[in-house]
Structure 1
């Protein structure tokens, strides 16, 4: 076919050209992110000056002047305090953390039986990792093993039975209790929160009223009060001879408290779903539960992933409140060991709190990063 002389059709694509100078590289990033305006420049300089003032001292206290080994308080105390360190040198006492590390992890769990919580932790990691990787298949079987079978096996491994010596929950403590409370609370609060959110949006007045009352009452009182009621007041309403394990009361209190907040998070996601999605599901002849399970809830949960993870992070940190009912999680066991006269120094308490804070930050940061990863993985929106 003849082509008009005024018409031009390119036969080959042009090769990609490098970005213009000045709009890429480290210098461009610094210029646009840190020194774009006079105000940004002033703030950047002030921030750098503050870091230059604080960071060297922190590094010096945490690592350079820190004491890493020792058998008692004399290793971390100065001469004037009855120790061996030169006066004026008082770095972190990591020897205290090293000496008490086993208690920080397991509390007063019998030393010869600590292989049992270690085995539970290994099984938990083995089942959790494939659950968190989207490409790993058989998620239904994985979830069954992680959320149903593992708790059943862990119960008998930790508390005893089938030939294993009985270990009272009063001896449990440290990071082990923190993780047990968090895992149980997360596992229970999410499905319970979904049911409460659906109930609050129900067209049945009785169901809706009961869900609203439950959510508003629980959200209106602090977790300390919920734990106190579960631990102290609940036994008063039980028949004579009936009792609940203290750990079980804490698990119930933490779970229902978190479920009330989770319900409002899920409800926010449900309200964000366009009405057309509900009408489309109805036009297909789906039942209520099919509509929610297959169409509405997957979209609603995807929308509120940051809020869900934020609730989980808050739950993980709130486990430290169980110390008011006589249980010692990671923070509680660290505080308890600071009263040991063999390690009584001015730097021992802050070292213990820095260690506990780092462990809490590590888990919370991990949940936050995984939340961001799932947001990117599930992002099916159209990008311009």
Structure 2
């Protein structure tokens, strides 16, 4: 199974020329966040089976993409003397140590500093993605668990022992705690990325380039927070593709940003019950949002601005150019298109 990793997405972009104390310090910090906050390997002095499974999953995914049998040696052996005779001691390292020996290994120059750092950032990215996927599953199962808890509470027989409070409240409190804990880890990771001057940001399972701190604070962070919800999954996927294509100088990143915005507009129309089935494209869905009978979700000038954006930016890239010159945006225009789409999604969703 293929896994999307940071090192492959940014293969063609040199981001580091040297491995310095800054990079070494960050990798130690990043690994400690994973090992101490996301997946503590031991519980009460014993190996935690759930954490071991997570560490193994991360190791196997990354080693496969890097073309390695193992990130670092899984087993050890050494010669010693026992009762005056030479013997060989052997055993298996914990999966946490195998990963630590990879992430925090000394840079020896056998590969470029750029590749060395990217491969280890890929480990941190996959670890955060693993935990985020786990939380998404936990969150999706919560409504059923709450319903089951309510049913169980009602089944307590008269005169039976009843624990103070109720199961549903306990489940909600636990869910809020684990989600808040993960969000705090994300914020710490992003702050450490910022302090290391990496111009990178983690969001929704991916580490991506973020050059403008003010833009990140006011637009990007709010956008990625919105698209954590499964409802906006297609918006999230297309916008990540747009950002990756922009950062790797790929083709038509603005097209994918516009697709993300179009998906958001369609979702809002569907959620509000305004979709009538006769729509043939983005323009018709925009009309649904601007219709006065639907309460004018957007004003006339906003409707016209959205239509103009799709006509000028999305449509030329959505059709073959024929004998005409292939459309292309400058770097500045591409940045503007992506930022514009993020801003539109943010403001439209906030109105729901």
Point out which structure has higher relative CO (alpha carbons under 8 A, 6+ apart).
1
Scaled by the length of structure 1, the TM-score of the pair is 0.24
Scaled by the length of structure 2, the TM-score of the pair is 0.25
Higher helix share: 1
Structure (1 or 2) with the larger CA radius of gyration: 1
